[in-house]
Structure 1
Amino acid sequence: MDLIYTGNAGPDALAERGWLLGHFKPEGDPRHSADVEIKWGRHPAGDRRAEWVRGEQRTALLVLISGCFHMEFPERTVVLAEQGDYVVWGHGVDHSWYSPEETVVLTVRWPSVAGYAVGAR
């Protein structure tokens, strides 16, 4: 397999619910990693995560590219409203999200851990 991959986050993200890089890509693919996952998240207005993530084992960084995005935590909601706004959360932090308008976010989380897929984007 080639050690260089080029693509576009829009169409590439469709294959894995937005995830571009992580353990779920085949071994030998430059996008395979057990260390980190990267997601290009496109969310239509009114989109909401189907279930809360509970007992989180990873650390995550979410950056707003466009739109408005609400990261929901048990104690508070963080509203990302300006391009470049971001939030970081760590191990053990339960969370969910809501997109009140069409939004694009970039998420980086580590390590890449199998078994977190739910019926959400």
Structure 2
Amino acid sequence: MADAVYVGNAGVDAPLERGWLLGHFMPPASARHSTEVEIKWGVHPPGDRRAQWTSGERRTALLVLISGRFRVELPDRTVLLTEQGDYVIWGPGVDHSWYAEQQSVVLTVRWPSVPGYAVPLS
């Protein structure tokens, strides 16, 4: 049961997995493996944007602004997060994209954790 507990630091661990701390893509024996939920610690420089919109979204997502100024683009509206703690939730069927207007840190929680949404590495 050595892998039943994991202690880490989001700033250190997140860059190793494209920001992700928890999800189906972590090693199966790890406490960080989950098919129920994904958690991401996103650190975004000014001007950073998602490389492409999602397509066929099947998950629910919660995105919380930790610091900065961060824009979430949805099919029918744009949400601007400006104050620490501002958040937006969207459900299955709602595709999205995002843009960091300033250096930003955001925490994203998505559920369930399913394969097929990673933007290919350039």
Same fold? TM cut 0.5: yes
Q: Could you list the runs of 5+ residues in structure 1 that have no partner in the other structure?
A: none
Q: Could you list the runs of 5+ residues in structure 2 that have no partner in the other structure?
A: none
Provide the TM-score with structure 2 as the length reference: 0.95
Within 5 Å, give how 1:17-56 maps onto structure 2: 17-56=18-57
Shift of residue 94, structure 1, vs aligned partner:
1.2
1: CA distance, partners of 2:93 / 2:68: 28
Q: Secondary structure at the match of 2:42?
A: strand
Provide the TM-score with structure 1 as the length reference: 0.96
Within 5 Å, give how 1:24-103 maps onto structure 2: 24-103=25-104
How many residues are treated as equivalent by the alignment?
A: 120
AA partner of residue 56 (structure 2)? G
1: CA distance, partners of 2:8 / 2:64: 20
Q: Secondary structure at the match of 1:53?
A: coil
Which stretches of structure 1, 4 residues or more, deviate above 4 A after TM superposition?
none
Percent of paired sites with the same residue: 69
AA partner of residue 55 (structure 1)? G
Q: For each residue in 1:63-98, what CA deviation from the matched residue of structure 2 results, as whole angstroms up to 9, or x when unmatched? A: 000001000011110000000000000000011000
Q: For each residue in 1:31-75, what CA deviation from the matched residue of structure 2 results, as whole angstroms up to 9, or x when unmatched? A: 100000000000000001110002100000000000010000111
Shift of residue 119, structure 1, vs aligned partner:
3.6
2: CA distance, partners of 1:104 / 1:36: 20
AA partner of residue 75 (structure 1)? D
2: CA distance, partners of 1:105 / 1:27: 26
Q: Which residue of 2 aligns with 1:6?
A: 7
